[in-house]
Every structure is written in C-alpha cells, then in structure tokens.
Amino acid sequence: MGQYAESQRKNVRILLVGDPGVGKTSLILSLVSEEYPEEVPARAEEITIPANVTPEQVPTNIVDYSSMEQSDETLAAEINKAHVVCIVYAVNDDDTLDRITTHWLPLVRATCNSADGEPDVMRKPIVLVGNKIDTIDYSTIDSVLAIMEDYPEIESCVECSAKTLHNISEMFYYAQKAVLHPTSPLYIMEDQDLTPACKKSLVRIFKICDIDSDNLLNDYELNLFQRRCFNTPLQPQILDEVKAVIQKNVPDGIYNDAVTLKGFLFLHCLFIQRGRNETTWAVLRRFGYNDQLEMCQEYLRPPLKIPPGSSTELSHRGQQFLIALFERYDRDGDGALSPEEHKMLFSTCPAAPWSYSTDIRKSCPTNDAGWVTLHGWLCRWTLLTLLDVVKTLEYLGYLGFSVHENDSQLAAIHVTRERRIDLAKRQSSRSVYKCHVIGPKGSGKTGMCRGFLAEDMAKLVGKEFKTNVVHCINSVQVYGQEKHLILRDIDVRHVLDPLQPQEVNCDVACLVYDASNPRSFEYVARIYIKYYAESKIPVMIVGTKCDLDERRQDYLMQPADFCEKYKLLPPHMFSLKTNKKELYTKLATMAAFPRFQAAWILFYRHRLVQLWESAHLRQFGLMTEDPKIWIKAGLGVAAATVLGFIVLRAFGVGGSNSR
C-alpha cells in the first residue's frame, strides 16, 4: 500500500499508568494469559507481543508502572520512551476518574514538554481505559468524552474488565491504533473538522487524482484512486452509496455525478468521525506523508546511486509523465504554459522549482510571448535533472509521479555510463551534454548563448545583456539523433582570476574571442594552455562578430596557427546576423565523440592521400596485379573517402563554415 519507513513505526510501545488498585497489572496479565489472574504482582514485567498476533502486524511492547516499585524519574523516562500512554481508572471509583485531569494528564504533558522544550509540538497520544466495568451497571463514557474535549491528545476511550476479559483486546488495539493512525494530526475534536494540515494534504491529493483538471473526481478517477491506495477496485454499488452519503450531507459535494473537493474532504472527515482513521492514513501515506503530515524524505528522495563520472538524464517514462502533465495544464491548447497555467501546475508543490518570469525566458525555448513551450518544458527539466537530480526527484514526488506511474521517481531517471567508458569507446552514450562557454568580457559569449534559444538570432543583434544567462539548453541533431546541449556562460570577473574546477570540467569547452578586437584572443589562448591543453575535454575556439572587420590579434600566434599547433579544429567564425546554428551542432558532435579531435581529421586526410597515391601507382603498373588486392584497395579507398567526407563536412574543415 505504499507505506514508508518514516510514516509507519516498526514497533509500538504502550505504557499503562494510573492510581494504585485500578487494575493496570491485571489488564496486562489477562491479555497475555486470556484468564483473570488469581494472584497479581505489584508490577508486571515488560511484555513483547509478536507482530503476527497483532491486528496491525506490528511488534508491541507493553510496559506496566508501579508507584510502589518505581521512582518519579523512572516514570518520566518511561513516559518519554512510550509511543502511547494508557491512563487506567476504575469505573467504580470517582476519585480515580477525577485524577485523570488533576494529575495524570498534566503529568504526561509536563513530562513530554520538558523533554523536547516545545509545548506546542504534537503531544503524546493518550487512551483512557475504564477498568472493572463488571462491577457497575452504568457507563462513565459521557464523563470521559467531556475530558476529551479539553485534551486533544486523547485518541480514544474504552471501558473493559480484566476479570471477565471484556474489551481487553480492544483496549490494546485502540492503543496500537493511537500510535499508527493518530487522530490529532487529522481532526480537531472541538471544531468537528479536519486540521488545516490535513486539509492541505488532501487538497494536494485531490488535485493529483483529478487527471482532467476539471475540479471533479469522476468514476474513472475515483476507481484509479481506490486501486492505487488500496489495491482493489471500487464496486459500483459502494460508489453509488458513497455518493449518496455525500449528497445527503454536503449538497455541493456532488456535481454532474462526480465528487467535488468539498465532498472529498467531507468523506475523510466522516471516516475519522466513525473511527476509521486508518483509511485516511492509508491515503496520506500512499501519497508520501508521515505522521506529522509532512512529506517523507524517503518518498521525496529515494536513494539514487550515481557512479563517479556518470550523469543523470530523464528516462522515457519520466519524459512521458512530464509531457502528460504539460498537456493536462495547457488548458487553452496553445502549446505553451501561460504564467497562470504554470502556477496551477505547481500548486501541489511548496513552490515552483524555478522562476517563471526570469529563469524560463533565459534558459529554455519559449514562444513569442515568453511562455514555455512543450519543447522548452522538457528542456528545462532535462537541465534540472543533470544539474540537480535530487531536486528533480523531489518535485516529481510533489507532482505525484509515484502515484500515476505506480513506481518511485527513480523510474523517471536514467543514470548514464561512466565517462571513462565513453572515452575508451570514443563515443558518448549520453544524450545531454554540458558545454562551458568561456571568454573575456565583451567577446559576445552571452549573445552566443542566447542565440541558441532564439528562432531568429538576428533579433538579438545590438541588445545589451546586463546579466549572464548562466545556463541555456536546447536540442540539436547529431547524426539524426536528438541531443540536448547545455551552454553554461562562465562569468569572467577579471582576466587574472583563476577558473574553478567546476568551471573547467565539462563535456566540451567553447573558448570565445571577439574577432574584431585585436586584444581578445590572448585570454582564450591562455585559458586553453592553462586548463585544457593536457585535458581530454574537446575544445572549440570561436571567433564572434565575424560580420565586422576581422583584426589581426596581438598575440604570439594568430588563432588559425594556434589551432593548428595544438591540433584543434580551425576557429569557427560566428555572427548573430548570419542566423546560422551549425556551431551548436558542432559542439554537441564533439561532446558525443569526445576523442574525435583535429588529430583524427589529420589522420583521415593523410590516409586519403595514401590511398589515392596507391591507386595512381597501381594505374601505372607499379604495384601487384593480384585482383584481390585490387578489390581491397578499391573498397578501402571508397570507405575512407566516404568517412573522410562525413567527418570533414561535419566539422567544416577546409570549408566556409570554419571561417
């Protein structure tokens, strides 16, 4: 039923207290031996009842107290150790009943408060037990109910008899129930209403179960809710009876034969009033709540093992869930989430995981109004999953992934293989890559990052970007496969400031200089030599503002010579005005093939020359006449030609794209 460790205790410890002679010890011994003891000791030893013989299937410890044998300090320690305290009184002795309010309840409160120092915390649950019911012909329950109104920690009351065994098992069942399914977090006795925390939790659950977002739970949604919480379908007759009860008590609890939020809340209020707390608790725990009606950390953050060098991406199930969520809240069907739709989507969460007004516009694709599209929505989640997978898990939990998918949020995450394996295989298995964009101020790197998101980059020409974009994410096609590329704009405060390891390490580095500024390239060259020359990180050097006059750089070598010396691809010349986006595809391709550097290209160039020379030598009769070798040579030339053509075309070597 989806219980979580934090919401369900592994054992229950029951402490019995009361005035001497009320029958505390007799109750315990009668329960264990199933007969009234002829001789009763001053205090019973602690008893453990195995899980398989208790209604709740939880091991239970029963502890007796004796003022004759134990000190006040021992009593205080036992009260603090206990999960529930049973205050026993004798129904035939009014003094013991009065002592409940004059001594025992204040004592338990004071002891618990002195232990935690917070008088407003949830108090220790109490069960009032009236023993010796066999000695009178009337009930004391009315008097006890009046006490319960003043002490909300009292979960229940029961009259029983140790001598006749009447209600003995029920007494300990109520004590167990007070721990495992407490009333006080759910219900305010004096108001006859749900607590604010309980209402808030049930409202979230209602929204998650309202699949079509019409503020109603229809029969299909109610059945789905029933199966997910109790692993059983809701029979049509029972469903009709439930609706009839709601309609009778809450006129607007049913609308168009579906349950409204008011009806849903009333139903749980009714469960609690009828002593069926376990029903509401089963629902709450299935949706991740603990005994304090807070989201369990185990529910929000299921343990995820990420080996060193691995990264995290959305799985297919994670993407499908997010697509369905987007479509569910895109009320007008315009393919984008308005600020109001975005707010409603995250209404089941403490807050949105990002700022809609600033973060969305700067980090992922949007429409002309600045509203996040479905493509941008998936991109933004992809970014969050790579950078902060724990936060992704938390928010998927808040949004109800585990309920809708009937699995933990781990099913929404894919952990990639280690980077060292990618390097060994010379091909990345990932679909999300980090590219760090580094360059001096004024080099145009921020505009280049923003251009990745724009449909028409030319519209960005002349704009001033007062703040760094930090992260931009979009998708590109790498040999027919969709990949996500994340551009991180590294903020360079001063040319002499060193880069931190987290600013250097990435899947591909893009070093940007202003081709129209003769002093711009030096910073890029120094960064490469200091941080990347000895690393295995692919690097591309980009000259921006190539629509302006290209200036000779005031450095030991010109950019093209520098790239040739360090076996890098020739500088890629970039301008927002040209509105060409092949740069981003190149960066993603370099990340996908992390060891595919200019050295490879030189190798293929050299190999092509060798093969063509061999073919010419054969043409002049200077090589063997063996026809098999002829065939092998021809196939080799053809294969090398095709591969070399693909490689050179992809990276623009020797063509106009590289300059």
pLDDT of residue 233: 86
pLDDT of residue 566: 95
To which residue do tokens 């060259």 refer?
525
Q: Two tokens at 156?
A: 């229940």
pLDDT of residue 639: 47
Q: Which CATH superfamily is domain 301-416 in?
A: EF-hand (1.10.238.10)
Supply the pTM of this predicted model: 0.82
At the topology level, CATH places domain 425-612 in Rossmann fold (3.40.50)
pLDDT of residue 423: 79
Neighbours of 345 (CB within 10 A): 20
pLDDT of residue 455: 82
Burial of 104 (0-12, 13-18, 19+ CB in 10 A): buried
In the chain, where the domains are located: 12-180, 193-294, 301-416, 425-612
Kindly give the parts of the chain with pLDDT less than 70. Answer: 1-9, 114-122, 458, 461-469, 495, 595-659
**Strand-pair category, 432-438 with 539-544:** unpaired
Strand locations in 463-553, DSSP E?
471-478, 481-489, 508-514, 539-544
Q: Which CATH superfamily is domain 12-180 in?
A: P-loop containing nucleotide triphosphate hydrolases (3.40.50.300)
Q: Which CATH number fits domain 193-294: 1.10.238.10, 3.30.70.100, 3.30.70.270, 3.40.720.10?
A: 1.10.238.10
pLDDT of residue 481: 93
Strand locations in 12-153, DSSP E?
12-18, 47-49, 60-64, 84-90, 126-131
- Cα dist. 625→187, 507, 528, 614, 656 in Å? 96, 49, 51, 13, 41
Please indicate whether the domains covering 12-180 and 425-612 agree at the CATH topology level: yes
